[in-house]
A and B are shown apart, each in its own frame.
Chain A
Amino acid sequence: MTPPGSTTRTPSRAIARPRQPAVLTAPAVLAVALLAIPLLGVLAGAPWSELPARLGSARVREALGLSLLVSGWALLLSVLLGVPLAWVLARAHFPGKPLIRSLVLLPLVLPPTVAGVALLQGFGRSGLLGGPLEAIGVSLPFTTAGAVLAAAFVSMPFLVITLEGALAGLDSSLEEAAASMGAGPLQILRLVTLPLVLPSLTAGAALTWARALGEFGATLTFAGNLPGVTQTLPLQVYLLLQEDPAGATAVSLLLVVIAAAVLLSLRGRWTGVGRG
């Protein structure tokens, strides 16, 4: 994932680094402020003294448990389907590959509510697969499985693009060496390729999980909102905001902390820069 050209960087000790131009520093500081102020607002607005009581309430615990269940299954689904897809995109040659790659990226840029409408038109009762699914007794809208599907739809792209980038950038000599020693393709994948891309796989999985945990629009549109079944933490924040803004801020703080913890634990591994 290191961009070409960065290997020719001159050692900083030999030549004095150019000073940071103020014309870049000022907007950069503004950018940081733009991103940081809303989060500081959550910290400032959170009802700290009542935090344990609010986050420990049965309602919040139920939504947290459901959120963990849904995001966990979404991650599992993303790994089971996304890892093979990333491998195919990185290694196989077939017509229409750019099209498939765009398809994988689409959920990242679609408004989540549009994703929800699309899921209804695809897997809803009157959607494309609604009839066949009903015939085998499967109904996805308004179920926890539907919430998992919505979360996987919007979060799997993170896993696929992270892993595909790592696989494409891999030095192929190790795999070739393994092949010359008589290893089969699945053996190479298991013993050579996957261990080499494990850091990227971990990073992609963490981002996928964090995105699944934060999923709101597609879940609400496709799976609806019912406590204990489909009301995950983000949906609860939205409804709490209408009757209990302080409660909404408390749950928001919980989600901010979880997301920040995931990103800090990655320490820039996803972007390949800023380590250490």
Chain B
Amino acid sequence: MRARSRAAVLAAALLVAPVAACGDAQQRDPAITLTVLAASSLADVLDEARAGYEEEQPDIRLRLSFAGSQELVAQIRQGLPADILITADSDTMDALRGRTGKVRFIAGNEMTIVTAPGNPDGIHDTAGLARPGLKVVLAAPEVPAGAYGREVLERAGVTVSPVSEEPGVRAVLGKVVLGEADAGLVYVTDAVAAGESVGRVPVPSEENVTVRYPAAALTDSTHPAQAEDFLLWLESGTAQRLLHDAGFQQP
């Protein structure tokens, strides 16, 4: 019996401890937490930017949440409390018109073909994706990367039958990195992040799209001034250098 009650106390302690710890941290730490919802393709660079920003602004904490742009919009419509939204296209941002403040563009991106390392299938251009038997994955047309990918194929006049339409651009990259797919269309920044684990075949500029990332504070934000400061910082030299290193272009 004693062993059992001790186990019960231990279990209770394990359940309560993290909650108590959160409470403590909030009491000791007067920092304001800004919730930033951002497109999946920004995940790596914003994680890096957060460290820099929190060091510069010790009384601000950034909570980052990443998902496909459409999903972020759906989350906000469902009432997810957030301060800042950064999407991967204007359509998704415009869908929340009236609930966002001034929209500014913080970065640009392009699409690229990714293959297995060393490009074993010898894909040299967009037309190479149409080769029969080649397993190509695209992002689903519902997400921006999917729409951009289709635009690239359309401009190149290439018809591709993908083996899968993945729900997010990082899932496209994952299928290529795992070797399950032969090639995929992703953002240049995804290819940069994957480094040596993929081969890159650039899409010529006349076939490529210009992706721009709009960012805005949400009108429901409880910290509008701090949200505005963070958006200004994203346009500053420090943040723009980080974005450039991650493969992003000028907005």
Give the chain A neighbours of B180 by CB distance below 8 A: 120, 124-126, 141-142
CA distance A1 to B177 in the complex (A): 47
A242 touches B175 (CB 8 A): no
Complex alpha-carbon distance, A226 and B135, angstroms: 13
Whether B163 and A224, one on each chain, are in contact in the complex, defined by CB atoms closer than 8 angstroms, is: yes
Do A120 and B165 have beta carbons less than 8 Å apart? no
- Indicate whether A243 sits within 8 Å of B178 (C-beta atoms), given known contacts A224-B164, A225-B165: no
Residues A242 and B142 in contact, CB atoms below 8 Å apart:
yes
A124 to chain B, nearest CB (A): 5
With A124-B178, A142-B135 already in contact, the answer to whether A238 and B167 are too (CB < 8 A) is: yes
CB 8 Å contact bits of A144-156 with B (1 = contact, 0 = none): 0000000000000
Q: Is A245 an interface residue (CB 8 A)?
A: yes
Give Cα A125–Cα B162 distance, bound, in whole angstroms: 17
Could you tell me if A126 and B167 are in contact, using CB atoms closer than 8 angstroms?
Answer: no
Contacts of A226 in B (CB 8 A): 162-165
A156–B167 Cα distance when bound, in Å, is: 27
**Which residues of chain A are within 8 angstroms of B135 by Cβ–Cβ distance?**
142
In the complex, how many residues of chain A place their beta carbon closer than 8 angstroms to a beta carbon of chain B? 20
Q: Is the CB of A225 within 8 A of B178?
A: no
Interface residues of A in 219-254 (CB under 8 A from B): 220, 223-227, 230-231, 238-239, 241-243, 245
What A residues does B178 contact at CB under 8 A? 120, 124, 126
Q: Is the interface of B mostly helix, strand, loop or mixed?
A: loop
> A224: which of B142, B143, B175, B179 is its contact (CB, 8 Å)?
B175
Query: Could you tell me how many residues of chain B have their Cβ less than 8 Å away from some Cβ of chain A?
Result: 21
Known interface pairs A224-B137, A241-B74, A243-B70. Does A126 touch B179 (Cβ–Cβ under 8 Å)?
Answer: yes
Q: Is A242's CB under 8 angstroms from B74's CB? A: yes
Interfacial chain A residues near B167, Cβ < 8 Å: 220, 225, 238-239
The binding surface of chain A is classed by DSSP as: loop
User: Which residues from A are CB-within-8-Å of B181?
Assistant: 142
Q: Are A239 and B142 in contact (CB under 8 A)?
A: yes
For residue A230, which residue of chain B has the nearest CB?
B164
Distance between Cα atoms of A227 and B164 in the complex (Å): 9
Assess the A239–B140 pair: CB atoms within 8 A. yes
Q: Is the CB of B74 within 8 A of A245?
A: yes
Bound CA–CA A126/B71 (angstroms): 31
Shortest CB–CB separation between residue B205 and chain A, in angstroms?
Answer: 29
Whether A243 touches B164, Cβ cut-off 8 Å, given contacts A124-B178, A126-B178, is: no
CA distance A111 to B104 in the complex (A): 39
Q: Which residues of chain A from 191 to 232 have a CB within 8 Å of any chain B CB? A: 220, 223-227, 230-231
Q: How far is the CA of A239 from the CA of B142 in the complex (A)?
A: 7
User: Could you mark each residue 143-185 of chain B with 1 if its beta carbon is under 8 Å from any beta carbon of chain A, else 0?
Assistant: 1000000000000000000111111000000010011110000
B163: chain A residues within 8 A (beta carbon) = 141-142, 224, 226
Distance between Cα atoms of A38 and B143 in the complex (Å): 27
Known A142-B135, A224-B163, A226-B163; judge A243-B179 contact (CB<8 A): no
B199 interface residue per 8 A CB criterion: no
> Is B214 located at the chain interface by the 8 A CB criterion?
no
CA distance in complex: A226, B175 (Å)? 14
- CB neighbours (8 Å) of B74 from chain A are 241-242, 245
**Counting chain B CB atoms within 10 Å of each CB, which of A142, A223, A231 scores highest?**
A142
Q: How far is the CA of A120 from the CA of B181 in the complex (A)?
A: 12
* Listed A/B pairs (27) with beta-carbon separation below 8 Å: A120-B178, A120-B180, A124-B178, A124-B179, A124-B180, A126-B179, A126-B180, A141-B163, A141-B180, A142-B137, A223-B164, A224-B164, A224-B165, A224-B175, A225-B140, A225-B165, A225-B166, A225-B167, A226-B164, A238-B167, A239-B140, A239-B167, A242-B68, A242-B70, A242-B143, A243-B142, A245-B74
Known: A225-B164, A230-B164. 5 other contacts (CB 8 A): A142-B137, A224-B163, A239-B140, A242-B74, A243-B142
The 6 closest A-B pairs by CB, nearest first: A224-B164, A242-B70, A142-B163, A126-B179, A141-B180, A242-B142
